[in-house]
């Protein structure tokens, strides 16, 4: 039996309540959480799940944003797709390995990827995988046959799309679709396909938000990507506050590695600064994606020990709100260790 004891200020349970605790980990699971008597400088946070990323885009890191979004990323002839086709498989695999390693080092132990390249593209990501980092792959162009899900760039309301989604669902695959990223014209078509997950929702109206909430469809928002790529220019897009108030389940993602670093701490800090979202809600968004793979992103007895250990000495001395300080004072630079089952 593998057992380890860690102590610190942990963000515990459904509300991520900061408590000085002792945690016993046995065989990769949190076996026991008890209160500790003395304050600790070490902080313990639940690891993150990046709920939307295009990981192979690493090979085009910091490509200039010098043209409309569709010309940059839309299939089949956007800049990124041409680059992916021209890059050797060995290079793509190495790039994905590097980004998975970076995510792990910055506290992300799970991610959902929209994988281009058909079956070969999925196979390359599986080859690049790290067993400590859980993956949910949304394949396309035939890749959905061997992936855990089917990912659609944008819904156009065609019979071909309907058939592809139907086949994926009959095979037990999750279905995710980009919708409302740069406008509203693809939103109704996306809802008509009955998705399990909607990506972006940057320009959702009150009616769209209500529909997502009523149908229980989770939404993944990617705020930094929206701003960098010109899909958003104010705190109303995406309408995060309205989504949360309506009862939507909202997850956080970083989108294209080509343009945005897959650092979930940075994404959370941006969300906090621009959108004024409560810190508890942000941590729930940053960890909630684990539910897509049947796990809980929480520090509680019986949960997998997906944990981030951080140096909290400086903010711990002065902060009136540890959860906010986690994002705005410590961030990924404060990580001392990442624990995975």
Going by C-alpha positions, the residue among 219, 292, 253 that lies closest to residue 52 is: 253
Is 285 in the same domain as 155? Answer: yes
pLDDT in tens, the chain (341 residues): 688 999 999 999 999 999 999 999 999 999 999 999 888 899 999 999 999 999 999 999 999 999 988 899 888 888 999 999 999 999 999 999 999 999 999 999 999 999 999 999 999 999 999 999 999 999 999 999 999 999 999 999 999 999 999 999 999 999 999 999 999 999 999 999 999 999 999 999 999 999 999 999 999 999 999 999 999 999 999 999 999 999 999 999 999 999 999 999 999 999 999 999 999 999 999 999 999 999 999 999 999 999 999 999 999 999 999 999 999 999 999 999 999 99
- Whether residues 8 and 105 fall in one domain: no
Q: Are residues 55 and 189 in the same domain?
A: yes
Write out the E strands in 208-274. 219-221, 250-252, 255-256
Total tally of structural domains belonging to the chain: 2
Clarify whether residues 149 and 269 are in a common domain: yes
The CATH number of the domain holding residue 29 is 2.30.40.10
In terms of domains, do 40 and 105 share one? no
Q: Which residues pair with 175 in a beta bridge?
A: 150
207 forms beta bridges with none
Per-residue DSSP letter, 304: B
Query: Do 289 and 302 fall within a single domain?
Result: no
Note down the domain range covering 161. 48-293
Residue 184's nearest CA partner among 196, 195, 197, 200 is 200
Looking at the structure, tell me whether residues 248 and 328 fall in a common domain. Answer: no
What pTM does this model have?
0.97
Domain stop point among 256, 272, 293? 293
Which CATH number do you get for residue 200?
3.20.20.140
Best CA proximity match to 44, nearest among 2, 7, 4, 3:
7
Whether residues 121 and 208 fall in one domain: yes
Same domain, 234 and 315: no
On whether both 255 and 108 belong to a single domain, the answer is yes
**Residue for token digits 């980990």?**
25
Identify whether the C-beta of residue 209 lies closer than 8 Å to the C-beta of residue 239. yes
Q: Is 28 exposed, middle or buried (0-12, 13-18, 19+ CB in 10 A)?
A: middle
Task: Please choose, from the candidates 309, 271, 262, the residue with its C-alpha nearest in 3D space to the C-alpha of residue 11.
Answer: 309
Instruction: Examine the domain organization and report whether 14 and 133 are in the same domain.
Output: no
User: Is residue 188 located within the same domain as residue 90?
Assistant: yes
* Residue-wise DSSP of 141-177: TTGGGTSSEEEES-----HHHHHHHHHHHHTT-EEEE
pLDDT tens per residue, range 67-117: 988 899 888 888 999 999 999 999 999 999 999 999 999 999 999 999 999
């Amino acid at each position: 039996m593998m057992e380890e004891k860690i102590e610190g200020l942990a963000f515990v349970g459904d509300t991520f309540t900061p408590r000085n605790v002792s945690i016993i980990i046995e065989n990769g699971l949190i076996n026991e959480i008890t209160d500790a008597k003395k304050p600790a400088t070490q902080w313990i946070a639940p690891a993150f799940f990046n709920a939307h990323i295009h990981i192979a885009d690493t090979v085009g890191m910091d490509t200039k944003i010098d043209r409309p979004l569709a010309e940059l990323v839309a299939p089949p002839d956007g800049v990124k797709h041409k680059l992916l086709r021209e890059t050797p498989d060995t290079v793509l695999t190495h790039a994905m390995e590097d980004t998975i390693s970076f995510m792990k080092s910055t506290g992300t132990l799970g991610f959902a990827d929209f994988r281009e390249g058909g079956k070969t593209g999925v196979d390359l990501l599986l080859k690049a995988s790290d067993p400590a980092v859980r993956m949910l792959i949304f394949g396309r162009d035939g890749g959905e046959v061997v992936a855990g899900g089917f990912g659609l760039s944008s819904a156009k309301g065609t019979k071909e799309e309907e058939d592809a989604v139907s086949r994926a669902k009959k095979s037990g695959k999750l279905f995710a679709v980009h919708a409302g990223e740069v406008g509203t014209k693809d939103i109704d078509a996306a809802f008509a396909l009955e998705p399990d997950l909607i990506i972006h929702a940057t320009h959702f109206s009150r009616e769209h938000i209500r529909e997502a909430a009523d149908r229980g469809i989770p939404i993944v928002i990617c705020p930094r990507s929206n701003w960098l790529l010109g899909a958003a220019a104010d705190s109303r897009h995406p309408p995060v506050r309205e989504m949360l108030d309506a009862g939507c389940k909202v997850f956080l993602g970083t989108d294209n590695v080509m343009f945005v670093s897959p650092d979930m701490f940075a994404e959370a800090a941006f969300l906090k600064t621009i959108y004024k979202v409560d810190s508890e809600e942000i941590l729930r968004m940053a960890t909630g994606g684990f539910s897509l793979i049947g796990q809980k992103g929480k520090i509680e007895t019986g949960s997998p020990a997906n944990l981030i250990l951080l140096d909290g000495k400086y903010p711990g001395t002065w902060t009136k709100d540890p959860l906010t300080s986690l994002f705005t004072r410590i961030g990924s630079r404060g990580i001392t260790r990442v624990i995975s089952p």
